[in-house]
């Protein structure tokens, strides 16, 4: 019999790089003031909805997700546990550059999960490989209710894993959320998995 799992994934809300034309990736952008209010609203809504039934909180160590986790964790009385597996995809020499710079200087188009826009960047396959051990760990641990706070591209990879699809599925599909979106993933005792909500942005407002 499979373990029952309820996983809530949260894509961090508004960060400075959403407003200034810069690349997110591994640059340590903070949340904007608006983003901090959005994170507080998400925490408030989850606290009301789950009333102490949320057991653990995992988070990317990048500043924008760290801030999100600290705000939400305070509301839920949970201490964030940081994991590099949840970091956004590394874009190599484009880190710290603008989106316009990337478009002008990209070395190759990413047509498959194995392609890298720059030689020193991560492919989506690389993200899959670093995420998969963490995915297996939380799937088999004793926590029934788990929160993950991460980034758009990383969470899209996680969603494909959750549905039991393989890496190559990412060549033809994507399961993206939205900035500040909250998703609800559930596995019942028979092992059946569903995505009940994907990228619900209503949690950012009260």
Total domains in the chain come to 1
As a whole number of angstroms, the distance between CA 187 and CA 27 comes to 34
- The C-alpha R_g of the chain, in whole angstroms, comes to 17
Residue 3 confidence (pLDDT) = 85
Confidence of residue 206 (pLDDT cuts 50, 70, 90): confident
Structural domain including 80 reads 5-204
Return the DSSP state at 142: S
What residue ranges in 60-154 does DSSP mark as E strands?
81-82, 145-150
Q: Residue 23 has what pLDDT?
A: 97
pLDDT digits (tens, 9 = 90+) for 10-45: 999 999 999 999 999 999 999 999 999 999 999 999
- CATH number of 86's domain: 3.40.50.1240
Going by pLDDT thresholds of 50, 70 and 90, the confidence category of residue 51 is confident
Q: Check residue 155 and give its pLDDT.
A: 98
Q: Give the pLDDT confidence of 93-128 residue by residue, as tens digits.
A: 999 999 999 999 999 999 999 999 999 999 999 999
> Is the whole model's pTM more than 0.75, yes or no?
yes
């Amino acid at each position: 019999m499979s373990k029952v799992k309820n996983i809530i994934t949260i894509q961090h809300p508004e960060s400075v790089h959403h407003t200034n034309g810069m690349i997110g990736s591994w640059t340590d952008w903070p949340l904007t003031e608006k983003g901090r209010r959005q994170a507080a609203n998400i925490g408030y809504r989850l606290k009301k909805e789950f009333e102490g039934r949320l057991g653990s909180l995992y988070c990317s160590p990048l500043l924008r997700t760290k801030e999100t986790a600290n705000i939400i964790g305070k509301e839920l009385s949970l201490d964030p546990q940081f994991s590099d597996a949840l970091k956004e995809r590394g874009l190599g020499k484009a880190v710290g550059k603008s989106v316009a710079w990337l478009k002008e200087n990209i070395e190759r188009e990413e047509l498959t999960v194995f392609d890298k826009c720059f030689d020193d960047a991560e492919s989506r396959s690389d993200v899959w490989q670093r995420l998969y051990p963490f995915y297996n760990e939380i799937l088999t641990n004793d926590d029934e209710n788990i929160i993950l706070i991460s980034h758009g591209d990383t969470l899209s990879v996680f969603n494909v894993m959750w549905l039991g699809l393989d890496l190559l599925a990412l060549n033809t599909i994507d399961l993206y959320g939205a900035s500040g979106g909250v998703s609800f993933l559930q596995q019942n005792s028979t092992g059946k998995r569903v995505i009940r909500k994907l990228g619900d942005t209503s949690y950012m407002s009260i």
